[in-house]
A and B are shown apart, each in its own frame.
Chain A
Amino acid sequence: MTYFEPSFITIISLSAPLVFVVIGETITERSGVVNLSVEGTILITALTAFAVAISTNNASLGVLSAGLVGSLIALIIVLCDIKLNMNQIAVGFVLTILCGKLSSFLGQNYVRIPGPSLPKVDLPILKNIPYIGPSLFNQNILVLLSVLLIPMAWFFLYRTQFGLNLRSVGENPTSSMSRGINPELMRILGTIIGGFLIGIGGAAFSLHAKYGWSEGHTGNYGWICLAIVIFGGWNPIRAALGAYAFGAFQLIALKMQSITIGFTQVLPLIPFPLMIMTLIFIQMFNGEKRRKLPVLLKPIIGGIEPGSLGKPLKKEK
């Protein structure tokens, strides 16, 4: 127990950025928009957060501005989609490259320098819970928020009218329009909220999980997050569990690093074959095949893609 208990907290702490990003992307995709720019967005928002935190000497302000930049990029994608009828994937891919390179260019002066750290939360009663209390409630604010976000996102999507409207637009924009919902507005809002969370995920990289800034700082985890969303079957709780699974994997890899010397360069790339294998496994149970699953297993594996995901809204004339 003494060995696993700190590991458990480390996984939660290490996975905080991934949790923000996968939940943000889940909300985005639920409204029918694929924000493929995740990799670029988290790079540029990680830089934004770090740079703002240094210049204002206030880490929370850094997190906020990272969220705003994330929303801005998301807004570009959704406007290109609904106003200009452009391919979401194409715009997302170009923005990935653009934002990634922009972060290298603008981040030149921020490479490996120290900066302010995030405030720690101090919850007087919860801190005294045995085992998890001292470690979980003695983390910085982003870790706590990432844990709280999971039930909040679930509640938002499945228990509020707004979440229902969002999901219905993602499923079938035409029929939700006949129910008096504005599909364009829902797509814009869903994407902006999602983009804000993805941006905070970027901030959680540079201000918490991998403190500081270097070129290509987020190490391709943006792509992994896109795959985790599919793994999670477009459900925020399962997506977050997927993020924790990858966090656990990261931790194992880190611990193995001391055992296998000379293997260091290859180690960061291991998540990717794992990603392919996970997707193969998941695709076996997605879509139609999911119906044949036993009832008990249905909430755990497989998922159905939002009906209008990646498709442009059809204009009725």
Chain B
Amino acid sequence: MDNKLKINLLNLGFITIKLLVTFLLISLIILLLGGSPSEVMESIIYGAFGKPQKIVKTLLIWAPIALASLALLITFSAGLWNIGIEGQIIAGSIGATIIARSALGESIASPYIQIFIGLIFGGLWGLLCGFLRVKFNVHEIFGGLGLDFVASGLIVYLIIGPWKRAGIASTSGTDIFPDASWLPTLGKYNFQIIPLVLVIGSFLIIFILIKYTNLGLRLRATGINPSSTSRYKINSSLYFYYAFAIAGALAGIAGVVQAAGFHHKLVPAISGGYGFLSILIVLASSRNPIITMILSFFFASMIAGGSQLQLRLDLHSSMISIILSSIVLIWLVMRSSYLNNMFNKITSRLNLEK
């Protein structure tokens, strides 16, 4: 008992050290880039949580990032690099725009139909990547990337072509959606409940799916060793399709939130780079659903808070992405087997002494 407590304390100590090291290194990076760490952090915290409407906005930014991260949990569990997630987000937002621009766009049910269609579009776009992988053996990194760029070509074409605003064809976006097609808001700060419900619902589904269902077990088995699963009569290809379809559907919903909840129109950069950002999140969280959610909230707060860096401190907006990707790199290094072995050695030495 005493021993167990000791090991737990030791683990806590290691995590604290890791966080401290990360913190110091990030401060150093900010200094090197010409900012003041305390000012930058203060500005980020104020920008993300300073006022009620800022918190509402942070939550709205969190929703698509969390959805995309959950999507990637599924594909990473199956051992797949779903770099095509950006394209899947775009596909979902295109689906939402089709509904918002149709006759259904004026009806009260429009947001829900958008979510459904976005889910289908994203899922199909994801399946396309799975199809390339399974049928043509095109590695999902290249297939996914190709489809990402195809999707961004498609969205630009739609915005300057068939869906251009009356009179002008510019890449600034389509017409604003009709009011009925916006995700409904509550209260005077325009709080949107639907994205949060979607995130929590998807989290529960994914958590149970991965941990407690046969499908999740088989997905993970496929991820660990795709060739050995055939001995247990598991059809790896089938599970690749499942993974891509589920991930695509979640990413598609993220696209709907971006279009109908955040921008209220279709813009070329609808994904906001959240897909690639989510890959970083899932890499850093070592595929643990709970850590993924916490980390995605942290990343979303950084992005929400960082949007003011340019205005307040005259620092280029790419500063936040630099900080976030550095954090992921630092964590990956600290989690590497070399350092882990070192930690394990210390722990086991303490065990022996007891």
Contacts and interface: CB of A to CB of B under 8 A. Distances in A.
B23 interface: no
Interface size range of chain A in the complex: 35 or more
A98 interface: yes
Nearest to A89: B81
Contact of A84 (B81, B148, B319, B338): B338
Contact of A276 (B147, B276, B280): B147
22 contacts: A89-B141, A93-B83, A93-B280, A97-B276, A97-B321, A97-B325, A98-B326, A101-B318, A101-B321, A101-B322, A102-B322, A105-B33, A105-B319, A220-B149, A230-B142, A265-B156, A269-B153, A276-B142, A276-B146, A279-B136, A279-B138, A279-B142
A226 B328 CA distance: 23
A269 B150 CA distance: 7
Nearest to B144: A276
B279 interface: yes
Contacts of B141: 36, 89
Interface of A: 36, 80, 83-86, 89-91, 93-95, 97-98, 101-102, 104-105, 108, 220, 223, 226-227, 230, 262, 265-266, 269-270, 272-273, 275-276, 279-280, 283-284, 286
Given A93-B280, A227-B142, 6 more contacts: A80-B332, A80-B336, A97-B280, A102-B322, A108-B316, A223-B145
Among A83, A262, A283, A284, the most chain B Cβ lie within 10 Å of the Cβ of A283
B209 interface: no
Contacts of A270: 153
Interface string B255-269: 000000000000000
A280 B138 contact: yes
B217 to A, nearest CB: 23
Given A230-B142, A272-B145, A280-B136, A85 B338 contact: yes
The 5 closest A-B pairs by CB, nearest first: A269-B153, A272-B149, A84-B336, A276-B146, A98-B325
B45 interface: no
Contacts of B137: 283, 286
Contacts of B33: 105
A85 B145 CA distance: 26
Interface in B69-85: 81, 83
A275 B319 CA distance: 32
Nearest to A272: B149
Contacts of A108: 316
Interface string B98-141: 00000000000000000000000000000000001000111101
Nearest to A34: B141
Contacts of B19: none
Nearest to B315: A105
A29 to B, nearest CB: 13
A279 B316 contact: no
Given A85-B337, A98-B322, A269-B149, A93 B157 contact: no
Contacts of A36: 141
A108 B318 CA distance: 10
**In this complex, which of A83, A93, A280 has the most chain B Cβ atoms within 10 angstroms of its Cβ?**
A93
Given A84-B337, A227-B142, A104 B318 contact: yes
B146 A273 contact: yes
A108 B150 CA distance: 29
A101 B329 contact: no
Interface string B327-345: 0110011001111000000
A276 B283 contact: no
Contact of B283 (A84, A93, A227, A284): A93
B138 A283 contact: yes
A190 to B, nearest CB: 21
Interface centre among A272, A276, A280 (most CB of B within 10 A): A276
Contacts of B10: none
B73 to A, nearest CB: 15
Interface string B291-326: 000000000000000000000000010110110011
B328 A94 contact: yes
A226 B283 CA distance: 22
Contacts of B326: 98
B169 interface: yes
A275 B338 contact: no
A276 B132 contact: yes
B316 A276 contact: no
B103 to A, nearest CB: 29
A35 to B, nearest CB: 13
A103 B53 CA distance: 33
A105 B316 contact: yes
A226 B332 contact: no
Contacts of B316: 104-105, 108
A94 B149 contact: no
Contacts of B160: 262, 265
A276 B138 contact: yes
